[in-house]
Amino acid sequence: MGTKKLEVYFNNPDQPHNSEVLCWNRVDREASGEKVVSLLDYIEAHSDVCRSHFLALIEEIKGKVVEPLSDPIGHDKSVNEKIWHYSRFAELSNHAKSKNLDVLLKVVATKLYFERGSYQSLCFIGFPQDLLLALFAYFPGSEFFPSADTGALATQPALQHAHSGGVLKLKSIAYFWVLLLGSLRNLFSRRKRIGVPADIDVLFVDYLYEFDESDLSGYRSRYWSKLPERLNEVGKRVAWLHLFVKHKKTPSIRIARELVRRFSAKGACHTIWEDSFSCADIVKAWLMHKNLRARARKLRNEFSRNSPHPLWPLLEYDWIRSFESVESLKNLVFDQSLMHLLPKDLSKASVIYICENQPWEYAICDAALARNCNNVVASLQATVRYWDMRYLQNICKPHYVNGKFLEAPHFVACNGHDSAQRLVNTPSFALHQVESYRMGNHHNNGAVCIRSYNELVVAGEYTDAYTLALFACLHRLGETFLSGFRVFYRPHPSSQLEVPGIYLNWLETIPKEYDLSRARMIITDANTSFAADCWERGLPLACYVERASLNMSPIYGKAGVLFFNDPIDLGEYLGKHFPGSDSERPTNSLFNSNEGCRGWFNILGLKENS
């Protein structure tokens, strides 16, 4: 009796095999069979156990890889905590920043599949060279072969790789001088730096682009709707701390500064965080960054000779971006600026911030706790997707403040029960349901819209790379097929993507007042929260999942959605199905109502009279 062997392919198997086959990508229909399993299908079928093992690996990385970077003196627990929480290993942004995290998960899942299948031998076939060192170390005794049809290893890198140390250093220096010269210019122009007032009751921290630009007589944000006005009506003083994001509404800091000046003239204080950096903040942050970068580079050189973890090659990119790049300097400048930006006492105030598990959020929580704030609230403004790793961990994180560990945020404001159910590692007592102003709330006014047989809407994603991947997939259907439809492109509100000319033969800009319920099908990338909006409205929906990617859709598992990675599946579906009427909408909503402020008032310790 022979040994039970598992063959693991990076791509689809190129020929029939007698051994059982595991593919790292989604399996093409012609390659599927009883002995061919997609690793991504396995991960989705065993999601809870894969997630548990992945988080255990992250804790292992924290102890073996990142903790040696802590201050050599080793006594400043506050600094040591920040080193971890300002890193990409704590942020876990696998969707937008750290693609290597998905590779880590695949490695963990491969080991689980191998062990649970009681295999005796393991063979990797056609894997890229930049993965081999880690796989050699993590799966000792395994065999490695090139692809059978090419006779070579895959040349396309599987991992993200950072620039050289010299490039990283120059970028940090350039950023330092841009900040310092900007601060000096503000100083010499005698423009008063505006901090957050001491007499506030509620501080909102958000991004300065989700506002109504048609009426600038006041700050009206999609994040908060009429909540600030209601707070003012009950005598609560509100202030705003905005993060500047380059956007068509705010293309420069100068324009953002003018907008904030106009908003502040109406009463409530508005401050741009990036516009408040002092020379002292910048210099101190630079010195801290320089010290951290030197220690990180020294350790990285040691790790290349004597790795503290077998998967170090998969961690090196995020190590560099976390501790040796301009990201580290940015995080430290934000951290230092809060020393003078926030009032000294926040014991009677609430702080509400947008929750995306970014380093600046940890800085806000840390500074608020140091000022005795007892009500720090993280606000979920989008959907929580199962494999969005930012939300796999506990949202309430430890902070070393005044000689003891405290947790913040104190509460997480959830925009729907669906989101709350996915925060399995955040304590249930911290989760509170509030009104959802930004997402959902699509009311049917009773009008029946006749669907067009030949109109498709392609919705763009926040990240342009995902939108372009969707375009490329649809393009494979061929212009002959696509010419049978009017295909409208609906860009993401934050995107400034120029559509490549190759797609303009079949793709046109969506009319300004287009009613989405007219479309035969809405086609999105699986990752976008807009898909959840469409599903809640009962619109016919198809979501593209890339062959090598996790299904991060907020509506994964919901009825009435076509998920596809092969354009042939979409083409066949469009050829056979014509969506029904608008009455075929789901009975359950993903998001809470946007009416009133009762949930928000409860989390702020207030009562709504309406």
The CATH number assigned to the domain holding 536 equals: 3.40.50.2000
Which residue intervals of 211-307 are DSSP H helices? 227-233, 253-264, 279-305
Residue 225 carries which DSSP code?
T
Query: Does the pLDDT value for residue 151 go beyond 50?
Result: no
Q: Which of 71-85, 238-252, 516-530 has the lowest mean pLDDT?
A: 71-85
Read off the pLDDT of each residue in 154-173 and give the average, rounded to a whole number: 76
Give which of 397, 392, 393, 388 is closest to 369, Cα–Cα: 397
15 and 110 assigned to the same domain: yes
pLDDT value at residue 71 = 65
pLDDT value at residue 212 = 85
- Note the pTM of the prediction, 2 decimals: 0.89
Confidence of residue 382 (pLDDT cuts 50, 70, 90): confident
Residue 332: inside a domain: no
Query: Which two structure tokens, joined as six digits, stand for 119?
Result: 């295999």
547 and 475 assigned to the same domain: yes
Read off the pLDDT of each residue in 579-591 and give the average, rounded to a whole number: 58
pLDDT value at residue 536 = 86
pLDDT value at residue 27 = 83
Residue 540: inside a domain: yes
The count of domains in the chain is 3
Query: Does the pLDDT value for residue 10 go beyond 60?
Result: yes
Axis crossing angle, helix 100-116 with helix 129-138, rounded to the nearest 10: 40
Query: Does the pLDDT value for residue 162 go beyond 60?
Result: yes
pLDDT value at residue 259 = 92
The parent domain of residue 544 ranges over 455-576
pLDDT value at residue 350 = 98
Query: Does the pLDDT value for residue 150 go beyond 50?
Result: no
Q: Which of 97-101, 198-202, 288-292, 533-537 has the lowest mean pLDDT?
A: 533-537
pLDDT value at residue 12 = 81
Strands 121-125 vs 36-38: parallel, antiparallel or unpaired: unpaired
Query: Does the pLDDT value for residue 214 go beyond 90?
Result: no
Query: Does the pLDDT value for residue 581 go beyond 50?
Result: no
Residues shown for the chain? 610
Confidence of residue 31 (pLDDT cuts 50, 70, 90): low
26 and 108 assigned to the same domain: yes
Cα separation, 231 vs 283, in Å, equals 38
Give which of 360, 379, 288, 297 is closest to 329, Cα–Cα: 288
pLDDT value at residue 578 = 64
Residue 366: inside a domain: yes
Confidence of residue 92 (pLDDT cuts 50, 70, 90): very high
Give which of 320, 538, 518, 323 is closest to 444, Cα–Cα: 538
Residue 423: inside a domain: yes
Cα separation, 553 vs 556, in Å, equals 5
Q: Is the dihedral of CA 179, 181, 183, 186 positive or negative?
A: negative
Query: Does the pLDDT value for residue 439 go beyond 90?
Result: no
396 and 478 assigned to the same domain: no
Confidence of residue 585 (pLDDT cuts 50, 70, 90): very low
Residue 302: inside a domain: no
264 and 378 assigned to the same domain: yes
pLDDT per residue as tens digits for the range 118-145: 999 999 999 998 899 899 999 999 999 8
Q: Which of 146-150, 318-322, 451-455, 506-510 has the lowest mean pLDDT?
A: 146-150
Across the chain, mean pLDDT equals 88
pLDDT value at residue 248 = 83
Q: Could you write out the DSSP letters of every residue in 538-582? A: T--EEEE--TTS----TTTT-TTEEEESSHHHHHHHHHH-----T
Look up the CATH number of the domain holding residue 206: 3.40.50
267 and 366 assigned to the same domain: yes
363 and 410 assigned to the same domain: yes
Question: Which percentage of the chain shows pLDDT scores above 70?
Answer: 90
Q: How far is CA 400 from CA 58, 335, 352, 405, in A?
A: 21, 14, 20, 4
Question: Which percentage of the chain shows pLDDT scores above 90?
Answer: 63
Residue 114: inside a domain: yes
Higher pLDDT, 316 or 581: 316
Q: For residues 410 and 376, is the Cβ–Cβ distance under 8 A? A: yes
pLDDT value at residue 155 = 54
pLDDT value at residue 453 = 75
480 and 508 assigned to the same domain: yes
Query: Does the pLDDT value for residue 610 go beyond 80?
Result: no
Query: Does the pLDDT value for residue 203 go beyond 60?
Result: yes
Cα separation, 327 vs 168, in Å, equals 10
pLDDT per residue as tens digits for the range 331-367: 999 999 999 999 999 999 999 999 999 999 999 999 9
Domain boundary among 145, 176, 211: 145
Burial class (CB in 10 A: 0-12, 13-18, 19+), 35: middle
Read off the pLDDT of each residue in 157-161 and give the average, rounded to a whole number: 75
Confidence of residue 79 (pLDDT cuts 50, 70, 90): confident
412 and 464 assigned to the same domain: no
pLDDT value at residue 582 = 42
Cα separation, 460 vs 470, in Å, equals 8
Task: Tell the residue number behind the tokens 């229909």, with chain if given.
Answer: 29
Query: Which two structure tokens, joined as six digits, stand for 320?
Result: 């560099």
Confidence of residue 23 (pLDDT cuts 50, 70, 90): very high
Residue 156: inside a domain: no
Cα separation, 125 vs 147, in Å, equals 6
Amino acid in position 134: A
Residue 450: inside a domain: no
pLDDT value at residue 583 = 44
9 and 121 assigned to the same domain: yes
368 and 475 assigned to the same domain: no
Q: Could you write out the DSSP letters of every residue in 285-353? A: HHHHHHHHHHHHHHHHHHHHHS-SSTTHHHHHHHHHHHHTSHHHHHHHHHHHHHHHHS-S--TT-EEEE
Q: Which of 147-156, 211-220, 463-472, 503-512 has the lowest mean pLDDT?
A: 147-156
Cα separation, 447 vs 427, in Å, equals 43
pLDDT value at residue 463 = 86
Residues facing residue 143 across a β-bridge: 123
Read off the pLDDT of each residue in 289-318 and give the average, rounded to a whole number: 94
519 and 370 assigned to the same domain: no
Read off the pLDDT of each residue in 11-40 and give the average, rounded to a whole number: 78
Give which of 208, 285, 280, 201 is closest to 241, Cα–Cα: 208
Give which of 375, 194, 348 is closest to 268, Cα–Cα: 194
